[in-house]
């Protein structure tokens, strides 16, 4: 069985529900993970997703800020929410797929929205940046994010760090810009290494090649400027390393009417 999985920071699911519908009608992922839904659970557009064929929905939302959701065509066994930094700010949700989804072996999916970190890359001057660094430290220490041999786990989301030199439009100019500072890159790569995760994008695309998933609203012409960053990630555990069949970034979505500043990132796995 092949599983098509998409992660997308939608920057308000209610504002952009028509764009989500447009994407899933064309791409038809089995599972869609959204971040920055900016929507309390009781206001989430569940009926719209069910009309589109997505009957199974796990939510961790709040009014106006943050929020994550997993929307699935196939059933999952359970939903779990983890709190980081003692702050219940709706930045994580996970589900487990098993026999009810006709999988040969269980698969656990984590969806994250890591704090953006504000504008000043100094934790002593910027509480948001301090929060981000602490969040990444807790991810590294989090036992459920350390898959054991044979565990089939996937971690996706807006991790808000572009960890490699060519994950940003200018490595030199962004070294002191939040999302690409050395301390953030070191901490996110530490999370990856500690869990022995495989970064699908960089498994399939050479480190020497530029790859972006986010373009700022501040650019008058984002296409011409092309000053992007790779903030959105799909990681798999070692047990799934050889199961990746496709990977794509829907760059065109950045040019849709009233778009998110992030675009959908999709992987296809043999499960």
- Using one digit for the tens of pLDDT, what is the confidence trace for 213-254? 999 999 889 999 999 999 999 999 999 999 999 999 999 999
Q: For residue 105, give both structure tokens.
A: 């072996």
DSSP letters along 196-252, please?
T-EEHHHHHS-TTS---SEE-TT-SSHHHH--EE--EEEEE-GGGGGGEEEEEE-GG
Stretch 93-116: mean pLDDT = 95
CA distance 59 to 92: 9
Cα-based distances in Å from 266 to 96, 149, 174, 254 = 19, 25, 26, 15
Residue 239, both tokens? 């047990």
User: What is the residue-averaged pLDDT of the chain?
Assistant: 97
Check residue 220 and give its pLDDT: 86
User: How many Cβ atoms from other residues are within 10 Å of residue 212's Cβ?
Assistant: 22
Which phi and psi (to 5°) does residue 134 adopt?
-65, -40
Domains and CATH numbers, the chain: 2-270 (3.60.10.10)
Six-digit token pair at 80?
């779990």
Tens-digit pLDDT profile for residues 67-82: 999 999 999 988 999 9
Q: Sign of the C-alpha dihedral, residues 25, 28, 31, 35?
A: negative
Q: Enter the tokens of residue 182.
A: 């050395």
Residues β-bridged to residue 78: 96
Kindly report the pTM of this predicted structure: 0.97
Question: Pairing state of beta strands 228-229 and 214-215?
Answer: antiparallel
> For the segment 138-184, what is each residue's pLDDT rounded down to a tens digit?
999 999 999 999 999 999 999 999 999 999 999 999 999 999 999 99
């Amino acid at each position: 069985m092949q599983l098509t999985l998409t992660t997308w920071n939608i920057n308000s699911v209610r504002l952009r529900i028509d764009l989500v519908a447009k994407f899933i009608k064309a791409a038809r992922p089995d599972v869609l993970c959204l971040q920055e839904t900016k929507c309390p659970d009781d206001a989430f557009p569940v009926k719209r997703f069910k009309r589109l064929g997505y009957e199974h929905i796990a939510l961790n939302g709040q009014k106006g800020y943050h929020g994550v959701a997993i929307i699935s065509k196939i059933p999952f066994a359970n939903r779990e929410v983890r709190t980081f930094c003692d702050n219940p700010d709706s930045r994580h949700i996970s589900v487990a797929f098993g026999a009810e989804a006709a999988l040969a072996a269980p698969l656990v999916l984590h969806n994250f929205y890591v704090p953006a970190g504000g504008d000043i890359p100094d934790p002593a001057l910027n509480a948001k940046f301090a929060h981000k660094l602490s969040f990444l430290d807790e991810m590294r220490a989090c036992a459920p994010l350390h898959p054991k041999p044979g565990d089939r786990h996937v971690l996706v989301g807006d991790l808000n760090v572009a960890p490699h030199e060519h994950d940003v439009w200018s490595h030199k100019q962004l070294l002191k810009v939040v999302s690409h500072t050395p301390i953030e890159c070191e901490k996110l790569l530490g999370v990856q290494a500690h869990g022995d995760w495989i970064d699908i994008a960089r498994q399939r695309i050479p480190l020497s090649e530029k790859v972006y998933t986010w373009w700022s609203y501040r650019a008058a012409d984002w296409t011409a400027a092309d000053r992007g960053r790779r903030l959105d990630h799909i990681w798999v555990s070692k047990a799934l390393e050889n199961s990746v069949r496709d990977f794509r970034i829907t760059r065109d979505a950045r040019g849709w009417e009233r778009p998110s500043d992030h675009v959908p990132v999709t992987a296809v796995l043999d499960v």
